[in-house]
Structure 1
Amino acid sequence: MVFTIDSLCKKYSGKAVLSDVSFSVDKGDIVSLIGPSGVGKTTLLRILAGLEEQDSGSISFETPPSKNNPVIMVFQDYLLFPSLTVFENTAFALKARKLPASEIAKRVNTILEFFHLSDKRKQYPAQLSAGQKQRVAIARAMVVNPAVLLLDEPFANLDRNLKLETAEFIRDTQKEFGITTVSVTHDLEEAFAMSDKIGIMLNGRLEQFDTPSALYNSPESIDVARFLGPVNILTPELCTHLNIPAATIPKGRDYAIIRPEQLTLTQGTEARINRVQFGGHYIKYSLQVQNTELTAYGFTAQFAEGDTVGIQVSQQ
């Protein structure tokens, strides 16, 4: 483990912002903390960066942070020096460490080439796009080979078309350099695309911490499931009515959490289609089953509003 957080708590003006947060991060992993605004994600990042102190709990690093083993945070506004060029911004921390000019040039030119910024090395931040500014900020942080890289809302200032591309770039870059990374974000799709582990934070608590696939397919609570996207809640009575195997409901629960894409419509009379909507790469079916409304996704509009259908559940 690079670091372990144990029972971390933080309050502002008597209001709990972080409550009993615990998790560990493995060396070389990229971890995303996601959740709505105001749940303590950035506060946790700032505590990791040493910019704030927790009220209780602990953070244990395998190797304590130091000048040669730093924890570096990249803020969502990038905080580039406007009067310095791309090269000078990237080289700033190396110059502060008084490294030889030849070593600085070698390290900066290498990372700018990797970040596809070599042709921008003499330009100033005002001449760059939002995506280019972000890459400069991350390059400036990574050039010192930090022990842990912290990213605060890395997609906040990017348009939709750039977000997924940037998530893939961050993952490729992080894996190439092997730098342990923790990111806080609101963007679910981008977090899924780049993360080894994801933590879901709701109301100041870390509700679940797991791999992206485990979180999505096996959420530990309805709140986590709904935060990650639309879900259907199947009770034992609904399963019986739909002829769905009882084993669909996990042991210890009285309900099953089923994603719309796990429902397949068949010939039958157990459910009625109330609405059919075109959703781009899928068709959304709104279904009435007794007194419950369910949602199913399909790839073709093979059924129409008013049709009666059967439902099968596929386990992912």
Structure 2
Amino acid sequence: MDLSVCKITKRFKSRTVLEDISFDVGPRELVSIVGPSGVGKTTLLKIIAQLDRPDDGTVNFSHPPTKKHPVIIVFQDYVLFPTMTVRGNIGFGLRARKEDKQRIGFQVDRMLDYFQLEDMGDHYPAQLSAGQKQRVAIARAMIVNPAVLLLDEPFANLDRNLKMETARFIRRTQREFGIPTISVTHDLEEAFAMSDQIGVLLNGRLMQFDAPKKVYFHSTSHEVARFLGPVNPIPEDLFALFRVNGYDVSRNSSGVILARPENLAMTADEAGPGHIVEKTFAGHYSAYTIDLHGTVYTAYSQDDRFMPGQRVTLALKPY
């Protein structure tokens, strides 16, 4: 592992903000820690960056950071120098090291090209869009070849239509440079799109840490599942009303299946146990509300032929 967070606990006066947080980040991995605002995500980043001290626990690096290979944190407001051009901002870290001017120019040109900022080199931060400012901030971080890159709410200042594009860009950049990266965010869709591993931070505790698909479709608790999106709790006494198509029910220790709307499939059946209460068009799928013996479930389907009032049989399917 390049980075290991071990049993980190942080208190502010009588309030425990982080409790017993542990996870590993492997070489070249991008890890996202997701959670609601105010849950302690930025505090965790500051501890990893050694800008704050934990009350308990340690952060261990396979290769300890040095001045030449530091831990770099990119804050959500970017903290660009307003009186420096884009070129000046990107090259700041190398100038602070008093590196050769010719090498600095070459490296800055390389970053301008990679981050698609070639025409912005002589612009000042006030002349840039939020997306351009973010790219400058990440380029300034990458140019010093950090040991670990930390991103604090990287989508916070972006328009909705830019968030997914930016998530893909961050992923490509991280893979290209091969730098272990930790992002903290409450933007779930973007975190799923770019991450190797996702941790869910709720009430100061890391509730689950695993691959994105496993965290989403195999949440370890109802609390985690509900935070990540719509979920259908299916109690044991209703299992018999569902057909099971290869769905793994053995992993549920509480006697309840937590099925996403994507995990429910419908079949038209005049004698079926459920009936459609509502149908809502949601773009690339339709959302159906189904009443099953007095319990309401939600299913997503690209099949638009089902109609309210229609009786159906529900099946659990893997996804």
Matched, 1:303 2:306: yes
Q: Which residue of 2 aligns with 1:260?
A: 261
Q: CA deviation at 1:13?
A: 1.8
> For 2:199 and 2:73, how far apart are their aligned partners in 1?
18
The residue correspondences of 1:7-86 to structure 2 (distance < 5 A) are 7-86=7-86
Q: Structure 2 length normalisation: TM-score?
A: 0.96
Q: What RMSD in Å do the two structures reach over aligned CA positions?
A: 1.4
Matched, 1:279 2:276: no
Letter paired with 2:260: R
Identity over aligned residues, as a percent?
51
Q: 8 Å contact 2:241–2:314 — kept in the other structure?
A: no
Q: CA deviation at 1:129?
A: 0.8
> For 1:271 and 1:244, how far apart are their aligned partners in 2?
16
Note the alpha carbon deviations across 1:141-196, whole angstroms, 9 max, x for none: 10000000111011100001110000100110111111111111111111011111
Q: CA deviation at 1:245?
A: 7.5
> For 2:244 and 2:133, how far apart are their aligned partners in 1?
52
The residue correspondences of 1:1-316 to structure 2 (distance < 5 A) are 1-244=1-244, 248-251=248-251, 252-268=253-269, 269-316=272-319
Q: CA deviation at 1:103?
A: 0.9
> For 1:276 and 1:231, how far apart are their aligned partners in 2?
17
Q: CA deviation at 1:248?
A: 4.4
Q: CA deviation at 1:267?
A: 2.3
Q: 1:17 to 1:85 in 2, by over 3 A?
A: same
Q: 1:119 to 1:134 in 2, by over 3 A?
A: same
> For 1:203 and 1:75, how far apart are their aligned partners in 2?
22
> For 1:245 and 1:74, how far apart are their aligned partners in 2?
45
What SS is found at the alignment partner of 1:87?
A: helix
> For 1:248 and 1:125, how far apart are their aligned partners in 2?
52
What SS is found at the alignment partner of 1:67?
A: coil
> For 1:151 and 1:281, how far apart are their aligned partners in 2?
31
What SS is found at the alignment partner of 1:6?
A: strand
Q: Where do 5+ consecutive residues of structure 1 fail to align?
A: none
Note the alpha carbon deviations across 1:119-148, whole angstroms, 9 max, x for none: 111111111111001000000010000000
> For 1:243 and 1:266, how far apart are their aligned partners in 2?
10
Q: CA deviation at 1:279?
A: 1.0
Q: 1:143 to 1:246 in 2, by over 3 A?
A: closer
Q: CA deviation at 1:3?
A: 1.2
Q: CA deviation at 1:109?
A: 0.8
> For 2:76 and 2:172, how far apart are their aligned partners in 1?
20
What SS is found at the alignment partner of 2:291?
A: strand
Q: 8 Å contact 1:250–1:256 — kept in the other structure?
A: no
Q: 8 Å contact 1:248–1:256 — kept in the other structure?
A: no
Q: CA deviation at 1:50?
A: 1.1
What SS is found at the alignment partner of 2:273?
A: strand
> For 2:31 and 2:95, how far apart are their aligned partners in 1?
30
> For 2:205 and 2:226, how far apart are their aligned partners in 1?
16
Q: CA deviation at 1:247?
A: 6.8
> For 1:32 and 1:274, how far apart are their aligned partners in 2?
37
> For 1:143 and 1:102, how far apart are their aligned partners in 2?
14
Q: 8 Å contact 1:242–1:270 — kept in the other structure?
A: no
> For 2:56 and 2:282, how far apart are their aligned partners in 1?
47
> For 1:99 and 1:47, how far apart are their aligned partners in 2?
29
> For 1:87 and 1:242, how far apart are their aligned partners in 2?
61
4+ long deviations beyond 4 Å:
243-248
> For 1:217 and 1:99, how far apart are their aligned partners in 2?
49
